[in-house]
Amino acid sequence: MLDDEFNKQRAKVLRDLAEQADPFIRRRLLRLVERYEPNRRPAPDDQQLVRSRDGADR
Protein backbone atom coordinates (compact mmCIF):
# COMPACT_ATOMS: atom_id res chain seq x y z
CA MET A 1 0.00 0.00 0.00
CA LEU A 2 2.74 2.42 0.82
CA ASP A 3 4.39 1.67 -2.51
CA ASP A 4 1.18 2.56 -4.34
CA GLU A 5 0.90 5.87 -2.53
CA PHE A 6 4.56 6.66 -3.19
CA ASN A 7 4.12 5.89 -6.90
CA LYS A 8 1.06 8.14 -7.14
CA GLN A 9 2.87 11.00 -5.42
CA ARG A 10 5.98 10.57 -7.57
CA ALA A 11 3.88 10.54 -10.74
CA LYS A 12 2.16 13.77 -9.67
CA VAL A 13 5.52 15.46 -9.02
CA LEU A 14 6.79 14.38 -12.44
CA ARG A 15 3.64 15.69 -14.16
CA ASP A 16 4.03 19.01 -12.36
CA LEU A 17 7.64 19.24 -13.53
CA ALA A 18 6.61 18.34 -17.08
CA GLU A 19 4.29 21.35 -17.19
CA GLN A 20 7.29 23.65 -16.87
CA ALA A 21 9.82 21.72 -18.93
CA ASP A 22 10.92 22.12 -22.54
CA PRO A 23 9.38 19.68 -25.07
CA PHE A 24 12.22 17.13 -25.02
CA ILE A 25 12.34 16.88 -21.22
CA ARG A 26 8.53 16.94 -21.01
CA ARG A 27 8.22 13.82 -23.16
CA ARG A 28 10.84 12.04 -21.07
CA LEU A 29 9.14 12.99 -17.82
CA LEU A 30 5.75 11.81 -19.05
CA ARG A 31 7.28 8.50 -20.12
CA LEU A 32 8.77 8.18 -16.64
CA VAL A 33 5.29 8.73 -15.18
CA GLU A 34 4.23 5.59 -17.05
CA ARG A 35 6.77 3.60 -15.04
CA TYR A 36 5.27 4.78 -11.77
CA GLU A 37 1.73 4.09 -12.97
CA PRO A 38 2.08 1.21 -15.44
CA ASN A 39 -1.59 0.17 -15.32
CA ARG A 40 -2.86 3.69 -15.84
CA ARG A 41 -3.80 4.87 -19.30
CA PRO A 42 -2.41 8.29 -20.17
CA ALA A 43 -4.90 10.90 -19.08
CA PRO A 44 -6.20 13.29 -21.72
CA ASP A 45 -4.49 16.04 -19.76
CA ASP A 46 -1.12 14.33 -20.18
CA GLN A 47 -1.58 14.00 -23.94
CA GLN A 48 -2.91 17.54 -24.23
CA LEU A 49 0.06 18.85 -22.26
CA VAL A 50 2.49 17.32 -24.73
CA ARG A 51 0.54 18.64 -27.74
CA SER A 52 0.06 22.14 -26.37
CA ARG A 53 3.69 22.63 -25.44
CA ASP A 54 5.54 21.14 -28.39
CA GLY A 55 2.89 21.33 -31.09
CA ALA A 56 3.20 17.62 -31.95
CA ASP A 57 0.55 14.95 -31.58
CA ARG A 58 2.06 12.08 -29.63
5-35 pLDDT, tens digit per residue, is: 999 999 999 999 999 999 999 999 999 999 8
Q: How confident is the model at residue 58 (pLDDT cuts 50, 70, 90)?
A: very low
The dihedral formed by the CA atoms of 6, 48, 17 and 32, expressed in degrees to the nearest 10: 50
The number of C-alpha atoms within 13 Å of 8 and in the hemisphere containing its C-beta is 5
Distance CA 28, CA 21 (A): 10
Q: In this predicted structure, what is the pLDDT of residue 57?
A: 46
Cβ-proximal residues to 7 (8 Å cutoff; 6+ apart), any chain: 36, 37
* pTM for this prediction: 0.62
Q: How confident is the model at residue 56 (pLDDT cuts 50, 70, 90)?
A: low
Higher confidence at residue 14 or residue 53?
Answer: 14
